[in-house]
Chain A
Amino acid sequence: MKVSLFITCLVDQFFPEVGMSVVSLLRRLGAEVDFPPDQTCCGQPAFNSGFSSEARDLAKRFIAIFENSEYVVAPSGSCTSMVRVFYPELFRDDPDWHERAESLASRTYEFTEFVVNVLGVEDVGAAYHGKVALHQSCHLLRELNVRTEPQRLLRSVKGIELVELERAEACCGFGGLFSIKYPHISGGILQDKLDSIEKSGAAVVVASDVGCLMHIAGGLSRQSAAATTMHIAELLAKQK
């Protein structure tokens, strides 16, 4: 099985260790991994800002780079939903590109759903000792409808103590450029998330999106909170 990594800009440039964890996990589970080096950004920031024609240009570029891949896997629910849900919508009025977008969409997966639903694995052989809380990221939940896969993977981790976050399915307030344009609202929403993390007693918060994680981490460190963040792939890559 051949998997092309869609690494996402944030992982590529800010959190490469998340990408390395994904690579080692996928290899451990028997996949052959490649990284198309021409990839850049999927265009989501432009799309979410309303600049559809710029987003369309980047989508075409992305489709051309990945369309010969057997599977495309990304460590992000948000970037995956851009490709899987929004690319076909962007080409609603362009039958040729729409077909190419649909075809790529049908082979594009977020990392945890790929492991559970395509590879059929829940126990990846990970071990981790500590109190861990899962933050459910919005696009993974409500655009891709991936609801239980991250928990199922975490439950199989040896030694883990999973704690519930109150309102685990509530947004952390990131929202891409929203976080910069409306920092007061974004920060206000984040505060509720930080409070629920503190209440849960978790030492580590995991999520499937580094976007949410960098937002939560930014709040935790600004307030000198004890908890830290980790991408779910990093936790699942840990072995004892």
Chain B
Amino acid sequence: MHVNSESFIQDSTVAVQNKTLQTRLRVLTGFTVKRNLLFAELPDGEALRDRAREIKEETIGNLDSYLTQLEENVVRLGGTVHWARTGNEARAIVLELARKNNVQRVVKAKSMVTEEIELNEALEQAGIEAVETDLGEYIVQLAHEKPSHILAPAVHKSKGDISELFADKLGVANLKEAEEMTVVARKRLREKFLTADMGVTGANFGVAETGTIVLVENEGNIRLSTSLPRIHVALMGIEKLVPSLDDLAVFLKILARSASGQKMSSYVSLITGARRAGEADGAGEFHLIILDNGRTRILADEEMRESLYCLRCGACLNVCPVYQKIGGHAYGSVYSGPIGSIITPAFAGLEKSKDLPFASTLCGACREICPVRIDIPRILLKLRSDWAEGKHDNAGPPLLEKVAIKLWAFAMRHRIIYNLVFRMPAFLQGPLLEDGKLKRLPFTLGGWTQNRDFPALARRSFRSMWSDEK
């Protein structure tokens, strides 16, 4: 997976100052408000979340047998299953399928896993036109950008931005209302759907018991991508399995509620094999590519494993105070926000994304809203510990930081030194105080006083007051 998280500090600094972005990001709290209302009125909402987590635990714990079961069922229904260890292998499989079938144009459903493996870039390089058909993804593709939110890929763009983009790229100027822009996009996309040779989708779920691939959406473009072209290729991470249709029902109740604050999304497509003789619609060929790309590594790590339970609903992004300030692009990964901060290091290596686990206040809002209760703060702490202890790819914190922490820990083990560490500056701070506050701190501490005052140390510590009182 390609990541660009090394410039996190610079990119997030620019994002915080971007007024348009800040206004756009506020939109996302609307999802959370609706989500909370819907869960409050769902009588067994909390129990459903517990049940969903149990199902994920069971499935991820026995992934080998469920994957085999899914494969057998897909094959029995006339589909073909391909296994891809890496993003490269998955891209090669799609390209080979395209070559064999003389594919000129691909319509694409919104899919995080195809973003993860950068499928569009591979198709374009092979001279095949790949068109994103989700409105948000279409906008992002026209702008040559990456999605900035798992659910709402173009959330960073204002109506004005999109109007300009459509004028520039589609030659349709002066569009004012969202409805007008949607009509323009729909017309363009309809032509693409009708002339595409291959539809590529992700998969929200794969049902092992029936060999069914489940796709959840609001725009209907995914259903068209799976039914109009001759060939349907679905890409699915190994973790997307559920054992049965009964289990699927549990997830369908919580997914749309968590993702978009809807009871149910407008379309839920259950694709069970390719079109059979006598059936009126559906793709003639169905291929399922099952992708590892680092997931078995996560599976093998007990503390990381639950990050594979993620449904990619995006709810954690919407409540994250950090995401709300910096948006998705600053993370430098298609997986942004709290979930991105734990899976990006797992996929791409901590040395390439070392800021992500640290750029969190550990406030816990993500865990509270996660439909399957992934303990994201705990995993962030685990990654911080891996980093500090040099467990990850021989990378680690700078020597100065290590020495500082060790000195500090030494001081804290001796109450006399502890007290001196604070009392000496308390004795010396006088001349630096303005209105009883410190307005400028030295060294790294200066980060604080960039935009906040720092309190003065007390003239007397609590412990000295206490011993006087006694």
Contacts and interface: CB of A to CB of B under 8 A. Distances in A.
B454 interface: yes
Nearest to A37: B463
Contact of A183 (B418, B448, B458, B466): B448
Contact of B405 (A37, A49, A173, A215): A49
Interface string A13-54: 111110110010000000000010111110101111111111
B415 to A, nearest CB: 5
A222 B465 contact: no
Contacts of A39: 415
A138 interface: yes
B9 A218 contact: no
Residue among B325, B437, B461 with max Cβ neighbours from chain A (10 Å): B325
B461 A12 contact: yes
A171 B405 contact: no
B364 to A, nearest CB: 3
A180 interface: yes
Contacts of A61: 413
A43 B397 CA distance: 18
B389 A50 contact: yes
Contacts of B414: 40
B409 A57 contact: yes
B409 to A, nearest CB: 4
Contacts of B358: 178, 181-182
B405 A54 contact: yes
A52 B388 contact: yes
B265 interface: no
Contact of B448 (A9, A23, A170, A218): A218
Interface stretch (B109-117, B233-241, B269-277, B378-386): B378-386
B128 interface: no
A192 B324 CA distance: 10
Given A13-B457, A58-B413, A190-B452, A7 B364 contact: no
Interface in B341-398: 358-365, 367-368, 378, 381, 383-389, 397
A138 B363 contact: yes
B460 A16 contact: yes
A116 interface: no
A29 to B, nearest CB: 18
A48 B397 CA distance: 14
A161 to B, nearest CB: 27
B368 to A, nearest CB: 6
A179 B413 contact: no
B13 interface: yes
B388 A50 contact: yes
Nearest to A16: B462
Interface in B189-235: none
Nearest to A65: B415
Contact of A180 (B426, B448, B455): B448
Given A50-B388, A54-B409, A188-B16, A142 B363 contact: yes
B462 A48 contact: no
Given A171-B363, A187-B451, A222-B453, A40 B458 contact: no
A39 B463 CA distance: 10
Interface string A204-240: 0000000000110111011000000000000000000
B267 interface: no
B325 A14 contact: no
B106 to A, nearest CB: 38
Nearest to A13: B422
Given A12-B462, A15-B458, A215-B452, A46 B409 contact: yes
5 contacts: A13-B422, A38-B415, A192-B324, A218-B437, A218-B448
Interface of A: 7, 9, 11-17, 19-20, 23, 35, 37-41, 43, 45-54, 57-58, 61, 89, 138-139, 141-143, 167, 169-171, 173-176, 178-190, 192, 214-215, 217-219, 221-222
Which 7 pairs of residues, A with B, have the shortest CB-CB distance? A175-B361, A50-B388, A142-B364, A50-B384, A218-B452, A171-B363, A187-B451
Given A20-B462, A48-B381, 14 more contacts: A17-B458, A40-B418, A48-B362, A50-B389, A51-B388, A54-B405, A57-B409, A143-B364, A173-B361, A176-B361, A181-B359, A181-B444, A182-B9, A189-B361
